[in-house]
Amino acid sequence: MRVVRAVVTWLRVTRAHFLGASLFPYAAAAAIASTEVRELPWGRVVVGGLALALLHLGANLWNDFWDERLGADVRTHQPTVWSGGSRPATRGLISPGQALGGSLLLLLSASVPGLYLNWTSHGHVILWLGLLGLVLALAYSAPPVRLAWRGWGEVVVGIAFGPALMAGAHWLVAQSLSPAIGWAGVAVGLQTALVLLVNEFPDRAADRQAGKQTLVVRLGPRAAGHLAVLLWALAYGSVGVGVWTRALPGRALTVWVTAPLAGAIALMLRDWERAEPREGRALPSSLQVLLHALFTLGLGWAVKTGLG
């Protein structure tokens, strides 16, 4: 039982329930790339997924260690399942030293399968994209860069979990890139950035007190809500442009059926200040996570079947 409790604790502090933000785009990109090969290299796909999961979990814990150390998550009085960080030390789950050491161990462990995949691939695309992901992860919350504290969080997450991640997965499978993966990466990146933007709403007061200048803090809830609507429009619009340029098959437009869900989230953000504590404030984030999953996996399926 002690081992089980330890595993559960580490899954909690690394926020393993966020893995869909990386593994869903990875799966979608692999599906799209499979249309360019005779047989999907399942072994490489599994190893790549392992490397990605380790990198993501390590980045989560690294981010939470620094947010807690710099006073952001400590001030969060009403955390939700999707916001407020894991606060490992504040909640007594693990010590700050364990959080720091664990994050570095996970990030280092991700390099082992990553280097293997680069060694067995043409060129060094996997290496450079992996290094980009590692640098962005380290600079996200840690001083002196602290990208998320300066309002660059959405940009970083959008690039890392969209075009960069999906290009890497496509290269891993097909050893090439394509216009389809470019447009799909942009669309998914916008949706992933929206997950972060919506999740920043519950943390606004705590982030403002700690000096963490996220976009929701900088713009305020109303303007940030308008920005969310714009990003949703760009995400759906990028799919439309991809179809118009024939980079994506017409079937990709089926993801537009999720647009009403985006509208529902927008309405909730508009009434943000009147939301009920905890439960009501977690609902937009939960719906955006669901929207991201449906949009990403749906796009991957539509492009694969449309091109295949």
In this predicted model, what pLDDT tens digit does every residue of 61-114 receive, in sequence order?
999 888 888 877 555 555 665 555 556 666 767 888 898 999 999 999 999 999
Tokens found for residue 29: 């990109």
Give the three-class secondary structure for 213: coil
Q: How far is CA 199 from CA 66, 171, 211, 228, 247, in A?
A: 18, 31, 17, 11, 32
What would the mean pLDDT of 222-231 be, rounded to a whole number?
90
pLDDT at 33 over 90: yes
Instruction: State how far the Cα of 21 lies from the Cα of 295, in Å rounded to an integer.
Output: 12
Considering only CA atoms, give the Rg of the chain: 19
Lowest mean pLDDT among 116-120, 156-160, 275-279: 275-279
**CATH number at 2-307:** 1.10.600
First to last CA, the chain: 47
Total Cβ atoms within 10 A of residue 272: 19
Give residue 142's region: left, alpha or beta (phi > 0; psi -120 to 50).
beta
- CB-CB contact of 202 with 275 (8 Å): no
Mean predicted lDDT score pLDDT of the chain:
88
pLDDT for residue 227? 92
Res. 164 pLDDT band, cuts 50 70 90: very high
Locate tokens 């996220």: which residue? 214
Instruction: State how far the Cα of 91 lies from the Cα of 114, in Å rounded to an integer.
Output: 33
The tens digit of pLDDT for each residue in 179-224 reads: 999 999 999 999 999 999 998 888 888 888 888 899 999 998 889 9
Most confident of 10-14, 55-59, 264-268: 55-59
Q: Residue 205: what residue type?
A: A
Strands (E), the chain: none
Give the DSSP letter string of 236-287: HHHHHHHHHTTSS-GGGGGGGGGHHHHHHHHHHHHTGGGSPTTHHHHHHHHH
Give the three-class secondary structure for 12: helix
- CB-CB contact of 265 with 284 (8 Å): yes
pLDDT at 279 over 90: no
Instruction: Answer with the residue of higher pLDDT: 118 or 307.
Output: 118
Instruction: State how far the Cα of 6 lies from the Cα of 247, in Å rounded to an integer.
Output: 47
pLDDT for residue 30? 97
pLDDT for residue 297? 96
Tokens found for residue 239: 């799919």
pTM to 2 decimals?
0.92
Which residue in 304, 81, 299 sits closest to 173, CA to CA?
304
Tokens found for residue 246: 């024939």
Q: What is the DSSP letter of 220?
A: -
pLDDT for residue 73? 59
